[in-house]
Amino acid sequence: MKAQPLSPAPGAAAGLLRRLLQRRSGPVRKPRVLALVTWAYIAWSIVPVLIAIQFSFNAGRSVSVWQGFSLTRWYWGDPVNSVWHDPALQHALIQSLKLAGLDMLVATPIGVLLALGLARWRGYGARPANFLMLFPLVTPEIVMGVSLYLVFQYVFTFIHPSTAAQVLGQVTFSISYVVVVVRGRLFSIGRDYEEAAADLGATPWETLRLVLFPLLLPAVLASLMIVFAISIDDFVITQWLSCGAGCDTIPIKIYSATRAAPLPSINALAAIMVYCSLAAVVLAFVCYKLLTRSESSADSTQAAISSVGAFDL
Amino acid sequence: MYPRWLWRVFALPGVLWLLLLFVVPFYAVVGVAFGRVDPIFQNPIPVWNPFHWNTAQVLETLARFVPGHAYWVVFLRTTEYVALSVVICLFIGYPVAYYISRHARRSKTILLVLLVLPFWVSYLMRMLAWIDLLAPDGYVNRFLMWSHIYPHPPNWLSGNPGSVILALVYGYIPYMILPLLAALDRIDQRLLEASRDLGASPMQTFFRVTLPLSKTGVLGGSVIIALPMFGDYYTPAIISGSPRTSMIGNQIFLYFHGGPQPAVGATLTLVLSLFLGVLMAYYMYSVAKTQRLAQ
């Protein structure tokens, strides 16, 4: 039902004008300007990255002037400066993947258990613990970086800046993301299945193992994926706990390269990171869809996207 | 059906981890900030007991935050950059979120995918992209010269505040759009129809119904990007690298890695955290509120 204007029209021309205006402003109009803004934004957010990836295929040594196409030069073709042949770049790639793997292995189990605990633990200590979990999500990374740097220097002096320190730091802020993802899933599955299992005679352990954990599996997968992505993306904490060249990760290499004269091999290195992340996202998305296909609702795709994107913060 | 202790035991490792590696480290910052400095080696000696704290250092640092002193300029500049970037993010992000939540139908899924895509590209990679574009012989300058819009383009990558703000907006805007989108998606469509049926124009409906109802998203999104921006030091370092555009984070970084004065750095970190504590408290309060509503 369209809104009808209350005042009578002063004339036919005005009436026509009003009808035209009304058509333009009716509830079903096509908001062309908004659509344009949206697509322009999307293009602006993605095209620069595509251009940076394009330069990883540059045949010349510039990262800002296109000098022809070379598929392999900066990945492995160049015998000195390519990612494959430059030991520093190769090491950064390995270090990044190593940290991401360790972070996934440590943060995900701790986070899943913490999410279960926080969602269901009633009584003394539950509220402060919930509160504590939110802090790493909102604390600026530099504050966490400085804190961890100082704590390893003055309190836990047996931990030196090293790969181990970097893992400890990354896990500390990864746990909260896992909690957010897993807790969202916990709320959406509810407690009916577990109560049914208990009514049918399952012991608590069987309920956990045969009902709750399988139902949580999609969220666990999404968490693994998210931890991988935030670990590989992390710059601040990794830099503050770095032991020097041996601990450099891809983001740290990009950071130091941009302050000197960068070669396209840095673009290649960054592009490899993008390929890895995208492959991991696609994998996680497909797994999520497969695992939840029996509970498909109208917007299950959007639920999967939001779960993989972890944005119900 | 489960034993009562089970959930507490589940939560234990995570809580312990956060206590040992989040709470204790923060106390280390406090201890160093309120500690003493070795008179010979100039290295800080942290003081853990609050009764023995040395407040001189903190007071001295705070005194430099007054107008006309060393940190005032940096603090003001940081606040300016952050405020400007947040406002620009809002003006770009709101229409995008509004369009996706209200009007996109068949394209909604693909738009959501494209919207989340930047999350999976490293922040540093996205900064690198702008380094390539804004280089003296980069695409941006060549376009400006070719089109005669700006025949003598400035050096974008050295002490240019505009580039730093552009980079901040580019880096953080995805984090702004998602809370906006969530807030706009939650608005009950019937309220908008009611507003239109009662004779409000689309403009009036937007300003008197949609905008007030999306307030949590606007504030939440602004806070969620303002917090990391206040602690940012790598964006100005990469995009500009000049002391003319240095933010409070650069100052902290300098005290730890440039001329090593960790005690001053720790004090600055403490001041920054207290300042941001207000924003954090607001954000956590609103998260807690929406969680209570959701349950």
Return the domain boundaries, chain B: 55-294
Specify if A277 maps to a domain.
yes
**B56 pLDDT band (50/70/90 cuts)?**
confident
Specify if A133 maps to a domain.
yes
Contacts of B276 (CB under 8 A, 6+ apart): A140, A143, B227, B230, B231
Q: Do A45 and B196 touch (CB under 8 A)?
A: no
- Segment B204-227, tens digit of pLDDT: 888 999 999 888 889 888 998 999
User: Domain range spanning residue A117?
Assistant: 87-309
Alpha helix stretches (DSSP H) within chain A: 12-25, 32-55, 87-120, 126-138, 141-154, 163-189, 192-199, 204-206, 213-233, 236-240, 250-258, 264-291, 300-309
DSSP A204-227: HHHIIIIIIHHHHHHHHHHHHHHH
List the one residue out of B220, B248, B204, B275 whose CA is nearest residue B94. Answer: B220
Give the pLDDT confidence score for residue B288 in this predicted structure.
Answer: 73
Mutate to test the interface with B, among A258, A282, A286, A305 (most CBs of B within 10 A): A258
d(CA B291, CA A130) in angstroms, rounded, equals 11
Q: Do A270 and B21 touch (CB under 8 A)?
A: no
Contact call for residues B144 and B155 (beta carbons, < 8 A): no
Specify if A57 maps to a domain.
no
Residue of B nearest to A186 (CA): B295
Lowest mean pLDDT among A46-50, A119-123, B80-84, B190-194: A119-123
Specify if A249 maps to a domain.
yes
d(CA B144, CA B153) in angstroms, rounded, equals 7
> In degrees, to the nearest 5, what angle opens at C-alpha B256 toward C-alphas B252 and B261?
100
d(CA B216, CA B85) in angstroms, rounded, equals 19
Contact call for residues B242 and B186 (beta carbons, < 8 A): no
Contacts of A133 (CB under 8 A, 6+ apart): A114, A118, A175, A176, A179, B14, B18
What is the average per-residue pLDDT within A282-309?
A: 67
CATH topology of domain B55-294: MetI-like fold (1.10.3720)
Contact call for residues A222 and A289 (beta carbons, < 8 A): no
What residues of chain B lie within 8 A of the CB of A106, using their CB?
none
User: For residues B262-289, b (16+ Cβ closer than 10 Å) or e, as one string?
Assistant: bbbbbbbbbbbbeebeebbeebbeebee
Contacts of A203 (CB under 8 A, 6+ apart): none
What residues of chain A lie within 8 A of the CB of B28, using their CB?
147, 150-151, 154-155
Specify if A95 maps to a domain.
yes
Alpha helix stretches (DSSP H) within B155-208: 161-186, 189-197, 202-205
Q: B293 at the A interface (CB within 8 A)?
A: no
Specify if A21 maps to a domain.
no
Give the closest-approach CA distance of A79 to chain B in angstroms: 24
Average pLDDT, chain A: 82
Give the closest-approach CA distance of B247 to chain A in angstroms: 12
Give the closest-approach CA distance of B84 to chain A in angstroms: 18
Give the pLDDT confidence score for residue B160 in this predicted structure.
Answer: 86
d(CA B240, CA B162) in angstroms, rounded, equals 10
Contacts of B169 (CB under 8 A, 6+ apart): B85, B88, B89, B92
The tokens for A310 are 């972890």
**A171 pLDDT band (50/70/90 cuts)?**
very high
- Segment B162-173, tens digit of pLDDT: 899 999 999 999
Q: Partners of A133 in the beta sheet?
A: none
What residues of chain B lie within 8 A of the CB of A114, using their CB?
10-11, 13-15
Mutate to test the interface with B, among A21, A33, A38, A114 (most CBs of B within 10 A): A38
Q: In total, how many domains does chain A have?
A: 1
A300 phi-psi bin (left φ>0, alpha ψ -120 to 50, beta other): alpha
Contacts of A115 (CB under 8 A, 6+ apart): A178, A179, A181, A182, A183, A186
Collapse the DSSP code of A285 into the 3-class scheme (helix H, G, I; strand E, B; otherwise coil) and give the result. Answer: helix
Measured in residues, chain A has a length of 313
Write the ipTM. Answer: 0.89
Predicted structure pTM score: 0.86
- Segment B191-201, tens digit of pLDDT: 988 998 998 88
Q: B234 at the A interface (CB within 8 A)?
A: yes
Residue A135's domain is classified under what CATH number?
1.10.3720.10
Q: B12 at the A interface (CB within 8 A)?
A: yes
Specify if A59 maps to a domain.
no
Collapse the DSSP code of B285 into the 3-class scheme (helix H, G, I; strand E, B; otherwise coil) and give the result. Answer: helix
Contact call for residues A172 and A133 (beta carbons, < 8 A): no
Q: Out of B21, B99, B196, whose CB is closest to A168?
A: B21
Specify if A3 maps to a domain.
no
What is the average per-residue pLDDT within A36-57?
A: 92
Residue of B nearest to A259 (CA): B238
Give the pLDDT confidence score for residue B281 in this predicted structure.
Answer: 83
